[in-house]
Amino acid sequence: MDSMIYSFIIFLFNLDCTNSLKLTHLHVPQSVHRGESTWLNCSYDPGFDKIYSIKWYKNDVEFYRYLPTEKPSIQYYPSSGISIDVSKSVSANVYLTESTFQTEGLYRCEVSADAPSFQTVAREKHLKVYYLPEAGPTIEPIKWSYYRDYPVIDLICKSNPSKPSTQLTWLIDNQPSPEQYLSHNVTHNPSGLEVTRLRLTLPYQYGSLVNQFDLRCESRFLLTHVDQLQLTIRSNFFKPQSEDNSQSDNFPDDQITKTFNLTIYQDVESNILVKGYQLMYKINDLVNLICQVVKSRAHHKTKPTLKWLINNEEALADMTEAYQNEDFGEYTSRLGFNLSDRFFNMWSTFDNKIGPKIVFKCVAIHEEVLFRSGKDFIPDLQNNVISSARESTHSTNSGSIFRIDKMLTIGPLAITFAFYFRNFKNLFLCLL
Percentage with pLDDT > 70 across the chain: 67
Identify the burial level of 133 via C-beta atoms within 10 angstroms of its C-beta, where 0-12 means exposed, 13-18 middle and 19 or more buried: buried
Helix (H, G, I), strand (E, B) or coil at 48: coil
Q: Which helix (H) or strand (E) holds 4?
A: helix 2-18
Considering the domain architecture, whether residues 105 and 36 belong to the same structural domain is answered as yes
Q: Is residue 12 domain-shared with residue 125, that is, in the same domain?
A: yes
Among residues 75, 102, 130, the one where a domain terminates is 130
Q: Which residues, other chains included, contact 187 with Cβ-Cβ below 8 Å and sequence gap of 6+?
A: 194, 195, 197
pLDDT digit string, tens, across residues 257-290: 567 888 877 666 677 888 888 888 988 899 999 9
Query: End-to-end CA distance of the chain, in Å?
Result: 111
- Of 220, 225, 230, 178, the closest CA to residue 200 belongs to 178
92 and 60 within one domain: yes
Q: CB–CB of 359/232 below 8 Å?
A: yes
Does residue 17 lie in a domain region? yes
pLDDT of residue 214: 75
Per-residue pLDDT at 337 exceeds 60: yes
CATH of the domain at 3: 2.60.40.10
Tell me how far apart the alpha carbons of residues 121 and 24 are, in angstroms, rounded to a whole number: 10
pLDDT over 50 (residue 142): yes
Instruction: For residue 356, tell me if it sits in a domain.
Output: no
Q: Does some domain include residue 415?
A: yes
201 shares a domain with 145:
yes
Instruction: Give the Cβ contact number of residue 2 at 10 Å.
Output: 12
Instruction: Taking residues 310-320, report their average pLDDT.
Output: 90
Task: Give residue-wise pLDDT tens across range 146-199.
Answer: 666 667 778 888 999 999 999 998 888 788 988 988 999 999 999 899 999 999
What confidence tier does 88 reach under pLDDT thresholds 50, 70, 90? very high
Question: Residue 341: pLDDT band by 50, 70, 90 thresholds?
Answer: confident
- Across 44-48, 60-64, 172-176, 268-272, the highest mean pLDDT is recorded for 60-64
Q: How much is the pLDDT for 200?
A: 87
Q: Are residues 81 and 44 in the same domain?
A: yes
CA distances from 423 to 128, 134, 151, 413, 432 (A): 55, 44, 11, 15, 14
What pLDDT shows up at residue 67? 94
Radius of gyration for the alpha carbons in the chain, expressed in angstroms and rounded: 31
Among 130, 165, 200, which residue terminates a domain?
130
What is the rounded distance in angstroms from the CA atom of residue 25 to the CA atom of residue 42? 6
Does one domain contain both 142 and 126? no
Q: Does residue 88 share a domain with residue 120?
A: yes
Boundaries of domain holding 205:
138-212+370-431
**Which amino acid belongs to residue 117?**
S
Specify whether 60 is located in the same domain as 111.
Answer: yes
Q: Are residues 114 and 156 in the same domain?
A: no
Would you say 232 and 265 are in contact if contact means Cβ atoms under 8 Å apart?
Answer: yes
**384 has pLDDT over 70:** no
Q: DSSP per residue over 194-218, as a string?
A: EEEEEEEEEE--GGG--S-EEEEEE
Give the confidence band of 432 by pLDDT, cuts at 50, 70, 90: low
> What's the total number of domains in the chain?
2
Please say if the pLDDT value at position 428 is more than 50: no
Pick from 93-102, 212-221, 307-316, 415-424: least confident: 415-424
- Clarify whether residues 30 and 123 are in a common domain: yes
Whether residue 160 sits in one domain with residue 126:
no
Q: Are residues 91 and 146 in the same domain?
A: no
Q: What's the rounded Cα separation, in Å, for the pair 365 and 224?
A: 7
Q: Mean pLDDT across the stretch 209-227?
A: 76
For residue 40, how many other CB atoms are within 10 A of its CB?
23
| Mean of per-residue pLDDT scores for the chain | 76
Specify if 427 maps to a domain: yes
Does 312 reside within a domain?
no
Residue of higher predicted confidence among 123 and 205: 123
In a domain, 208, yes or no: yes
Please identify, among 113, 130, 147, the residue that sits at the C-terminal boundary of a domain: 130
Cα–Cα distance, 76 to 291 (Å, whole number): 40
Cis peptide before 203 (omega within 30 of 0): no
Confidence at 382, pLDDT banded by 50, 70, 90: very low
> Does some domain include residue 260?
no
pTM here is 0.70
pLDDT tens digits along 351-370: 777 788 899 999 888 887 66
C-alpha closest to that of 254 among 292, 227, 283:
283
Domain assignment of residue 266, yes or no: no
